[in-house]
C-alpha cells in the first residue's frame, strides 16, 4: 500500500508455468504508472519473496537462481510518505512466513491494528499498513484460505485491491476488491489476476471485473466469486473489446509513453468517431446513452464532473453543449461537488468524465448523485472500470490504453465525446441539420489537422526551450480558450515542475498584470473568433510590460506589431477549435520537461489513477 492512495500495481499467476518471469513481465507493463519499488512472491516447495526499491529491472536482477513456483503474486509500489525501501515494498509476509499479500489502497485503521498486533506479540517489520493483512490472515484460525481472508478483511477499514497466497493452500490465490480495481484473467489452463488489464493483455483478454466488496478464489483452472459473508456471487468473465497490440509500442518503444500517446492522436480520434456520425441527418449516434430522443429533450441542464485535466475538458464540453444544444451546462471539480451537499435535480443530466474510470472523487460523486435519484452518464476510457459500471449509460472514449501519467490522447477523445454528445443533444433541439453537417465535417477533419500540428514539433520544441527558462508563467484564454489555457498550464506544471498559472485573459488587468515582467512569459490562446480583437488588445498590454509572449492562434489572425513567438494551428469550426489549440500545448509541455531533464512518464508526486480521496 502507499499512504497517499496512488494506485500501485498488482499481478498474479497460477498455472503450469513458472510464475516469476510472468509476474515480472506483468509488472514491467505497469511500470509507467509510476512506482518506486517492486516485489514478487512465488509458492513452490516453500514461499519465497524478493522485493527491491528501484525498477522492475533491479528486482529481476535480484531474483535468486532457484526461485521456483507455479503460483505467485507481484506488486509495484508507489510511496511518498515513508521511505521507498526493500522492506516497505510488497509482498508482505506473515510472521510464520506462510502468507504473502500484495495490496493497493489504504487501511484507515492501520494504527490501531498495528497496535493490537504488537500487543499480541507480532513483530511488524515494515512501516506500511499492508503488513497487517499478512499478519491478520496468518493469525486467523479459520480452516480455509477464503475464510481467513474474510476474517482479516472484517477487521480492516479502508480500501483494497488484494491478492493473497498461502503455503498451506498452494492450489489457489484469493483476491479481493474494495475501492481499488482488481480483475481476474482467464487463460488456457492458467489464470491471472491484475489491477490493470495492461498487465495481462498479452496472455488473455477474457477477464472478470470484481465488484467492490467481492472476493474470488482463483485456481489454475478457473475462479469463483463470493462476498465477505461467504455467499457466492455470479460475476463471470467476458471477452473485452481491446486490441492487445495497442499495448505494444513497436519501434517507438524507447520513446517516452507520453510522446507515443501524443503521436497516436490522429488514429485515436478516428476510433472515437468510428460508427458514431450520421452524415445524412447531421447528427451523432451514441448507442450507450440509454436515453431516447424524448428523454434527451427533457433535459433542462447538464452538469459535468471530473478531476484535474478531465475537469478542464469537462469545462470545454459544457461550453460545447451550451453552444450547440442551448442547454445550460457547467463543469465542476468532482472532488468538491459532493462535499457541498449538492442539489440533485431530476431533469439535470449528470456526466462523469474520467480516463481511468477509477478516480475515487469522481466515483463518489457519481454514487452521491445516484443515491439522490439523479441520472448519470459516464465519459470513460477504461472499459469495465468502476465509474463505467456505476453509471446509467455513457460514451467510451476508445483512446486505447493510456499509460503515461500525464494525460493527452484520452483528453482529446473526451473532447470528441463531448462534441458528439452536444451534437446529438443539439439535433433533438434547435440545432439545424446544416449546422449538424458543418460540425460533422469539422469532426472528420480533426485527424488530418492533428497530423499537421504534430509536424510542427521542431518549432514547438524551440518554444518549449524558451518557456523552460522561466520559473513562472501565465497561460491565458477567454471563453472557449480558457479551459485550453487551464489544461496547457496543468500539463506544463505536471511534468516540467515550472509554475504555470491559468487565467482568463479578461481578468489579467484585475490583478495579475502586476506580475508581468521580462521574466514571466505568457502563453496566450487566441482563436480566430468573435473575441480575437479583444484578445490581441490584451496581449499588447502584456507586451507593453515587457512580458514575453507565445501566441497559440490561427493562420488568419493578424497580431500586428506584436513581438511574440507564434504557434499556428489549423482552423476548424469555432466550436471544435479548442481541442486543436490544446495539441501544441501537449508538445510544449513534453519538450519543456525534456529540456529540463525530467522523466516525462514518471512525474514526481503523481500517479496515473488517484483511487483514494
- For residues 13 and 590, which CB has a smaller minimum distance to ligand F6R in the complex? 590
Which of these segments, 99-107, 294-302, 354-362, 432-440, binds ligand F6R (CB under 6 A)? 354-362
Which of these segments, 323-331, 335-343, 349-357, 371-379, binds ligand F6R (CB under 6 A)? 349-357
Q: Which of 358, 418, 419 is nearest to 388 (CA)?
A: 358
Could you give the CA distance from residue 603 to residue 608 in angstroms, rounded to a whole number? Answer: 10
Q: Quote the least distance from Cβ 404 to ligand F6R, whole Å.
A: 8
Q: Which of 611, 607, 579, 612 is nearest to 34 (CA)?
A: 607
Which residue in the block uniquely carries the three cell numbers 450520421? 278
Q: Quote the least distance from Cβ 452 to ligand F6R, whole Å.
A: 24
Q: Which of 535, 537, 538, 541 is nearest to 553 (CA)?
A: 535
- For residues 146 and 361, which CB has a smaller minimum distance to ligand F6R in the complex? 361
Which of these segments, 71-79, 303-311, 421-429, 583-591, binds ligand F6R (CB under 6 A)? 303-311
Could you give the CA distance from residue 384 to residue 304 in angstroms, rounded to a whole number? Answer: 20
The catalytic residue positions are 8, 608
- For residues 208 and 406, which CB has a smaller minimum distance to ligand F6R in the complex? 406
Contact set for ligand F6R, span 544-573 (CB under 6 A): none
Task: State yes or no: residue 129 binds ligand F6R (CB under 6 A).
Answer: no
Residue 6, C-beta contacts closer than 8 angstroms, at least 6 positions apart: 34, 78, 80, 606, 607, 609, 610, 611, 612
Q: Quote the least distance from Cβ 333 to ligand F6R, whole Å.
A: 10
Q: For ligand F6R, which residue has the nearest CB?
A: 308
- For residues 411 and 557, which CB has a smaller minimum distance to ligand F6R in the complex? 411
Task: State yes or no: residue 582 binds ligand F6R (CB under 6 A).
Answer: no
Task: State yes or no: residue 601 binds ligand F6R (CB under 6 A).
Answer: no
Among positions 388, 439, 610, 612, the unique one binding ligand F6R when judged by CB under 6 A: 610
Strand, helix or coil for residue 122: coil
Q: Which of 100, 30, 105, 104 is nearest to 72 (CA)?
A: 100
Q: Quote the least distance from Cβ 543 to ligand F6R, whole Å.
A: 30
Q: Which of 584, 592, 591 is nearest to 568 (CA)?
A: 584
Task: State yes or no: residue 496 binds ligand F6R (CB under 6 A).
Answer: no
- For residues 425 and 607, which CB has a smaller minimum distance to ligand F6R in the complex? 607
Could you give the CA distance from residue 48 to residue 43 in angstroms, rounded to a whole number? Answer: 6
Which of these segments, 46-54, 63-71, 356-364, 526-534, binds ligand F6R (CB under 6 A)? 356-364
Residue 280 exposed, middle or buried by CB count within 10 Å (0-12, 13-18, 19+) = exposed
The DSSP string of 394-424 is EEE-------SSS--HHHHHHHHHHHHHHHH
Could you give the CA distance from residue 423 to residue 430 in angstroms, rounded to a whole number? Answer: 11
Q: Which of 517, 537, 516 is nearest to 526 (CA)?
A: 537
Per-residue x/- track, 359-388, ligand F6R (CB under 6 A): x--x--------------------------
Task: State yes or no: residue 225 binds ligand F6R (CB under 6 A).
Answer: no
Could you give the CA distance from residue 582 to residue 604 in angstroms, rounded to a whole number? Answer: 23
CA 433 to chain centre: 36
Could you give the CA distance from residue 88 to residue 71 in angstroms, rounded to a whole number? Answer: 22
Among positions 22, 53, 305, 310, the unique one binding ligand F6R when judged by CB under 6 A: 310
Among positions 309, 413, 496, 582, the unique one binding ligand F6R when judged by CB under 6 A: 309
Q: Quote the least distance from Cβ 390 to ligand F6R, whole Å.
A: 13
- For residues 14 and 406, which CB has a smaller minimum distance to ligand F6R in the complex? 406
Task: State yes or no: residue 268 binds ligand F6R (CB under 6 A).
Answer: no
Which residue in the block uniquely carries the three cell numbers 487566441? 526
- For residues 277 and 382, which CB has a smaller minimum distance to ligand F6R in the complex? 382
Task: State yes or no: residue 354 binds ligand F6R (CB under 6 A).
Answer: yes
Among positions 22, 307, 420, 454, the unique one binding ligand F6R when judged by CB under 6 A: 307
Contact set for ligand F6R, span 474-493 (CB under 6 A): 490
CA 83 to chain centre: 25
Contact 589/459 with Cβ under 8 angstroms? no
Which of these segments, 28-36, 134-142, 205-213, 304-312, binds ligand F6R (CB under 6 A)? 304-312
Could you give the CA distance from residue 577 to residue 565 in angstroms, rounded to a whole number? Answer: 20
Residue 246 exposed, middle or buried by CB count within 10 Å (0-12, 13-18, 19+) = middle
Contact set for ligand F6R, span 393-432 (CB under 6 A): 406-407
- For residues 359 and 543, which CB has a smaller minimum distance to ligand F6R in the complex? 359
Among positions 129, 392, 494, 601, the unique one binding ligand F6R when judged by CB under 6 A: 494
Determine the size of the site formed for ligand F6R (CB under 6 A).
15
Residues of the shown chain interacting with ligand F6R in the complex, contacts defined by CB under 6 A? 307-310, 354-356, 359, 362, 406-407, 490, 494, 609-610
Amino acid at each position: 500500500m502507499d499512504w497517499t492512495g496512488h494506485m500501485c500495481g498488482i499481478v498474479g499467476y497460477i498455472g503450469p508455468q513458472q510464475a516469476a518471469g510472468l509476474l515480472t513481465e506483468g509488472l514491467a507493463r505497469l511500470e509507467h504508472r509510476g512506482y518506486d519499488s517492486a516485489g514478487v512472491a512465488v509458492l513452490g516447495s516453500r514461499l519465497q519473496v524478493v522485493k527491491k526499491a528501484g525498477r522492475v529491472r533491479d528486482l529481476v536482477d535480484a531474483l535468486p537462481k532457484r526461485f521456483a513456483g507455479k503460483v505467485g503474486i507481484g506488486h509495484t509500489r508507489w510511496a511518498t510518505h515513508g521511505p521507498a525501501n526493500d522492506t516497505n515494498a510488497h509482498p508482505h509476509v506473515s510472521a510464520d512466513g506462510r502468507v504473502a499479500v500484495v495490496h493497493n489502497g489504504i487501511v484507515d485503521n492501520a494504527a490501531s491494528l498495528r497496535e493490537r498486533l504488537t500487543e499480541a506479540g507480532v513483530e511488524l517489520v515494515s512501516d506500511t499498513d499492508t503488513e497487517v493483512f499478512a499478519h491478520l490472515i496468518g493469525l486467523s484460525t479459520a480452516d480455509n484460505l477464503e475464510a481467513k481472508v474474510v476474517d482479516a478483511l472484517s477487521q480492516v477499514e479502508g480500501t483494497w485491491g488484494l491478492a493473497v497466497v498461502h503455503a498451506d493452500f498452494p492450489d489457489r490465490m484469493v483476491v479481493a476488491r474494495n475501492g481499488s480495481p482488481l480483475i481476474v484473467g482467464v487463460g488456457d489452463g492458467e489464470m491471472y489476476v491484475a489491477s490493470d488489464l495492461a498487465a495481462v493483455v498479452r496472455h488473455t483478454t477474457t477477464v472478470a471485473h470484481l465488484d467492490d466488496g467481492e472476493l474470488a478464489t482463483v485456481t489454475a483452472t478457473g475462479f469463483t466469486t463470493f462476498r465477505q459473508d461467504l455467499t457466492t456471487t455470479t460475476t463471470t468473465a467476458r471477452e473485452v473489446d481491446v486490441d492487445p497490440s495497442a499495448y505494444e509500442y513497436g519501434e517507438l518503444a524507447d520513446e517516452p509513453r507520453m510522446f507515443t500517446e501524443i503521436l497516436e492522436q490522429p488514429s485515436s480520434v478516428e476510433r472515437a468517431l468510428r460508427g458514431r456520425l450520421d452524415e445524412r441527418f447531421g447528427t451523432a449516434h451514441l448507442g450507450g446513452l440509454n436515453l431516447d430522443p424524448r428523454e434527451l429533450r427533457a433535459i433542462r441542464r447538464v452538469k459535468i464532473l471530473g478531476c484535474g485535466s478531465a475537469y478542464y475538458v469537462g469545462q470545454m464540453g459544457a461550453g460545447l453543449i451550451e453552444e450547440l444544444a442551448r442547454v445550460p451546462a457547467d463543469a465542476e471539480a468532482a472532488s468538491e461537488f459532493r462535499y457541498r451537499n449538492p442539489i440533485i435535480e431530476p431533469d439535470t443530466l449528470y456526466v462523469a468524465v474520467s480516463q481511468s474510470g477509477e478516480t475515487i472523487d469522481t466515483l463518489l460523486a457519481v454514487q452521491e448523485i445516484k443515491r439522490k435519484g439523479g441520472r448519470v452518464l459516464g465519459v470513460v476510457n477504461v472499459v469495465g472500470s468502476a465509474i463505467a459500471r456505476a453509471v446509467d449509460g455513457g460514451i467510451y472514449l476508445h483512446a486505447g490504453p493510456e499509460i503515461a501519467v500525464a494525460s493527452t490522447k484520452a483528453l482529446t477523445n473526451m473532447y470528441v465525446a463531448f462534441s458528439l454528445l452536444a451534437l446529438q443533444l443539439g439535433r433533438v433541439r434547435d440545432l439545424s441539420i446544416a449546422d449538424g453537417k458543418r460540425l460533422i465535417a469539422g469532426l472528420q477533419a480533426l485527424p488530418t489537422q492533428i497530423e499537421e500540428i504534430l509536424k510542427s514539433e521542431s518549432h514547438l520544441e524551440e518554444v518549449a526551450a524558451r518557456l523552460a527558462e522561466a520559473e513562472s508563467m501565465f497561460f491565458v484564454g477567454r471563453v472557449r480558450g480558457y479551459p485550453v489555457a487551464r489544461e496547457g498550464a496543468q500539463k506544463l506544471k505536471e511534468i516540467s515542475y515550472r509554475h504555470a498559472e491559468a487565467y482568463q485573459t479578461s481578468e489579467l488587468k484585475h490583478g495579475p498584470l502586476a506580475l508581468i515582467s521580462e521574466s514571466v512569459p505568457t502563453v496566450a490562446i487566441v482563436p480566430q473568433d468573435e473575441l480575437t480583437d479583444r484578445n490581441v488588445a490584451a496581449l499588447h498590454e502584456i507586451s507593453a510590460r515587457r512580458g514575453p509572449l507565445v501566441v497559440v492562434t490561427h493562420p488568419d489572425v493578424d497580431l500586428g506589431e506584436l513581438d511574440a513567438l507564434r504557434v499556428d494551428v489549423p482552423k476548424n469550426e469555432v466550436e471544435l477549435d479548442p481541442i486543436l489549440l490544446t495539441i501544441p500545448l501537449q508538445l510544449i509541455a513534453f519538450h519543456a520537461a525534456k529540456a529540463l531533464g525530467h522523466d516525462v512518464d514518471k512525474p514526481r508526486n503523481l500517479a496515473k489513477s488517484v483511487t483514494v480521496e
